[in-house]
A and B are shown apart, each in its own frame.
Chain A
Amino acid sequence: MLPIEQFPVLVVAISLLSAITILLAGGISKKSGFFISLATITFQFILSLFILRHVLTVGTIHYWLGGWRPPWGIEYVVDVLNAYVLIIVLFLSLLAAIYSKRSVEQEIEARKLPTFYTLFQLLVTGLAGVVVTGDMFNLYVFLEIASLAGYALIAAAGGRALRASYNYLILGALGICFYLLAIGFLYSVTGTLNMADLRVLLPALYANKAVQTAFVFAFIGLGIKCAIFPLHTWQPDAYTYAPSAISVIISTAMAKASIYALIRVIFSVFTVDFIILFAPIFKIICWMAAIAMIFGSILAIAQFDLKRMLAYSSIANVGYIMLGVGLSTSTTFGLTPALMHLLNHALMKGCLFMAACAFIYKAGLWDIRGFVGLGRKMPYTCFAFLLAALSMIGLPPSVGFVTKLYLILAALEAGEYIFVAVIFFSTLLMIVYFWHVVELMYIRVEEGGEKEIRVAEAPMSMVIPGLVLAVLCFIVGIIWLIGTPLPMMEAINSGFGLGVVVP
């Protein structure tokens, strides 16, 4: 058995190797791509479980690529935060891969399947790489790998997806260029690219204009990738028109990996001290998040296209995460609510997108006005959707409830009562748009009944991942309430110097 220190690099290397294998195997069998990809991601997921266990029991894993010591070589660092996000990313990728089997057969031409799965695997490689790396420039490279694969995969749906993908590409490339500039500024004053080393070298240079400029560039650049409120314009189209499995993976795994990158750069490289002293943006983040929560929900109500509605709901939910980030310094909860919602939102939104895409797969239904009677025709898919929607609204003991509870507690402790009101208001708006869908699905009966659509349940490979996520929404919610993972969150907070109230 390999020593566990090698696992972080294996997660990335095996995935990259598998991407090439899929392309080569595609010459022999067009269908092999799915199986190779599924096997690889399962293996990666198992590795990530071992990594988490090791990180929790023994401590942070450091891997030096090629044996070059940091800060000269590239270092992979996996601490509790990385391991936690790695599991989220790989679990959602795994479910998206299972889900992709049937949906992709319908959406993509058979001759393009090997390339599709090559890109899919490259996307997973990029995301895993973003999460395990401890080097600023390496992070840039992996972000680009994931993004480029993402652009191509979104465009694979053809038609309107092309322009959505193009807009995403222009904004995404711009964001990554900003991030690259930020690395340049940091390198010019410190001469290092290693995150841990930067963290040590930067405090003496906090007053330096180059460092402050670097922070702004990095924040805006990564903010575009995360679709933080005013920078979200690429997001609704990309989520709406992408192929089903890709909607699932980019709205969960990719969005979470980007937010992880942002949190890592803000808290690990620049640290809380810098932000409080030289770039007091937490207040602004809070307000942007509050606007996003309201704005995203209102626009979601206005949509009839279910996928687009979910995309706008994602903007609101990124708002929830950013509110957690914004409040992190002023409460003893630290980043806990934000990191919670990272997992919670991935579970809920994954399930919702899976259900929405299953409706399109079976019945070609984009428009929720056609959903009448769907609850009786596709009972399992609709049940999964219902559970996730209830969870999103915040029915105890679901994950949505836990997030809202912690965010409200955090806002109360910080004395920011306005954000409590915002959370309640955005919850009301969520009830409006989800109730609208659920009502059409379950309650409304078309007169005569002949107008009701006639469809059968979606295939098992599309129902089961959705149901798994829907059930997990409640199980994970209970686990959060019991508080088993809270010591893990405490460890992350203390690593960032959070969790204590800074006056």
Chain B
Amino acid sequence: MIEWMVQHIFDKYNYWISIVLMLIGFYAMIAKENLLKKLIGLSIFQTAIFLFYVSLSDVGTGWGLRFGTAPIVWEHGIHEGYMYVNPLPHVLMLTGIVVAAATLAVALALVVRLYEEYGTIEEEEIMEMEMDLERGT
């Protein structure tokens, strides 16, 4: 039992954290009425994906007993037991972070414009005002 837990939970705690973060973000995006809170949810979701990718490249056995180093080839070549962390997912996530930042920037700009237009960032209230507009015209 303990072995199973070590193998599936403690050893892979980074994946579990990523899943939990992902669900928190997803919940916020779907359930929150406040437009900014939805964006915070989106951000958490994206960050969880970054964590997932970075976890993929990790080669350690957990608990810091053995872990990979930076993928640098030095003078004396590769010595015995040399493990390196896969750099590609990190690079992908650099792109991912840029994209996430851009998405968030566009979204925040939209929220600012919505606030200018309606004077609120609560989705319910905006929808009510839109309904009123529709009835008015």
Contacts and interface: CB of A to CB of B under 8 A. Distances in A.
B24 interface: no
A184 B95 contact: no
Contact of B46 (A166, A170, A177): A177
B29 interface: yes
A106 to B, nearest CB: 19
Nearest to A180: B49
Interface stretch (A27-35, A150-158, A338-346): A150-158
Nearest to B130: A160
A148 B45 CA distance: 18
A155 B26 CA distance: 24
A151 B105 CA distance: 11
Contact of B38 (A144, A165, A170, A181): A170
A112 to B, nearest CB: 13
Interface string A162-176: 110110011001100
Interface secondary structure of B, over-half rule: helix
A170 B95 contact: no
A162 B113 contact: yes
B29 to A, nearest CB: 6
A163 B56 contact: no
B113 A184 contact: no
A159 interface: yes
Contacts of A160: 130, 133
Contact of B114 (A140, A162, A187, A193): A162
A188 interface: yes
A177 B45 contact: yes
B132 interface: no
Interface residues of B, number: 31
Interface string A117-135: 0000000000000000000
B117 A162 contact: yes
A187 B102 contact: no
Most chain A CB atoms below 10 A, which of B38, B53, B88, B110 = B110
B103 A173 contact: yes
B110 A165 contact: yes
B114 A148 contact: no
Given A148-B103, A163-B126, A180 B96 contact: yes
B65 to A, nearest CB: 22
Interface residues of A, number: 26
Given A141-B99, A148-B106, A174-B29, A184 B35 contact: no
Nearest to B39: A170
A494 B102 CA distance: 40
B92 interface: yes
A141 B103 CA distance: 12
A170 B127 CA distance: 16
A151 B95 contact: no
A43 interface: no
B21 interface: no
A452 to B, nearest CB: 21
A187 B89 contact: yes
B110 A162 contact: yes
A206 interface: no
Interface string B81-108: 0000000110010011001001100110
A217 to B, nearest CB: 11
B95 A137 contact: yes
Interface string A259-270: 000000000000
A284 to B, nearest CB: 23
B42 A152 contact: no
Given A151-B106, A170-B38, 18 more contacts: A137-B92, A144-B103, A160-B133, A162-B114, A163-B126, A163-B130, A169-B106, A169-B110, A170-B29, A170-B42, A173-B46, A174-B42, A174-B45, A177-B49, A180-B49, A181-B52, A184-B89, A193-B92
Interface of A: 137, 140-141, 144, 148, 151-152, 155, 158-160, 162-163, 165-166, 169-170, 173-174, 177, 180-181, 184, 187-188, 193
